[in-house]
């Protein structure tokens, strides 16, 4: 789906940058063509500054989104999910990052969360990056406790795991 969305803007790398930012941040576009997070409007100048484009590029991109029925449905219904990853150091949480060989393989989340469950570790949050939105998608698991070495080894030894990191 990501590729299909980006193809609609293939003639404009600047508009593609706007679309990528909207998707990454979970920003939506309201009926007036304004970028919003929930009911809070995000100024186009701020978006433009973030990705180093002219404000008018943001205006034209949101206009194009509203003119396309498929894009309108996507960008009027997208929402942001709060993440505990950046708060982990402050809240004394553990973040386990798992990089896999084939992110589209079945059973990855089930296998990793199963290992944690087998060791009695409860999960506060799980975030799975979409392989269509990032080149090297990862699975993030946030827990309240330190992870024992044997658990880390068991996850590392899963056949699909390429790399793990603790934060």
Q: Are strands 28-29 and 35-37 parallel, antiparallel or unpaired?
A: antiparallel
Provide, rounded to the nearest whole percent, the portion of the chain with pLDDT above 70. 100
54-100 per-position pLDDT tens digit: 999 999 999 999 999 999 999 999 988 889 998 999 999 999 999 99
Give the C-alpha distances (Å, rounded to integers) separating 155 from 41, 88, 143, 145: 42, 21, 15, 16
Structure tokens at 85: 């990853």
Q: Which domains does the chain have, with CATH numbers?
A: 2-75 (no CATH), 88-166 (3.30.70.260)
Provide the pLDDT for residue 132. Answer: 75
Torsion of CA 101, 103, 104, 108, to 10 degrees: 90
Q: Is it the case that residue 130 has pLDDT exceeding 90? A: no
How far is Cα 105 from Cα 36, in angstroms, rounded to an integer? 34
Provide the pLDDT for residue 165. Answer: 96
Which strands form 28-29's sheet, in the order they lie side by side?
28-29, 35-37, 40-41
**Average pLDDT over the chain, rounded to whole?**
94
Q: Is it the case that residue 126 has pLDDT exceeding 80? A: yes
Q: Write out the DSSP string of the chain.
A: -HHHHHHTTTT-HHHHHHHHHHHHHT-EE-TTS-EEETTEEPPHHHHHHHHT--HHHHHHHHHHHHHSHHHHHHHTT------STTTHHHHT-EEEEEEES-TTSTTHHHHHHHHHHHTT--EEEEEE--TTT-SS-EEEEEESSPPPHHHHHHHHTSTTEEEEEE-
How far is Cα 72 from Cα 77, in angstroms, rounded to an integer? 8
Q: Which residues does residue 140 pair with via DSSP β-bridges, in sequence order?
A: 97, 127
Q: Is it the case that residue 133 has pLDDT exceeding 80? A: no
């Amino acid at each position: 789906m990501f590729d299909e969305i980006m193809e609609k803007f293939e003639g404009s790398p600047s508009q593609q940058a706007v679309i990528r930012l909207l998707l990454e941040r979970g920003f939506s576009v309201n009926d007036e063509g304004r970028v919003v997070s929930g009911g809070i409007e995000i100024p186009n100048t701020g978006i433009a500054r973030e990705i180093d484009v002219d404000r008018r590029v943001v205006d034209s991109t949101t206009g194009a989104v509203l003119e396309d029925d498929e894009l309108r449905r996507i960008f009027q219904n997208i929402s942001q999910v709060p993440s505990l990853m950046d708060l982990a150091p402050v809240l004394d949480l553990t973040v386990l990052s798992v990089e896999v060989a084939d992110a589209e393989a079945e059973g990855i989340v089930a296998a990793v969360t199963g290992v944690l469950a087998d060791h009695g570790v409860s999960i506060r949050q799980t975030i799975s990056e979409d392989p269509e939105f990032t080149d090297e998608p990862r699975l993030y698991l946030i827990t309240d406790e330190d992870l024992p070495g044997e658990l880390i080894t068991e996850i590392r030894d899963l056949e699909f795991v390429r790399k793990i990191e603790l934060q």
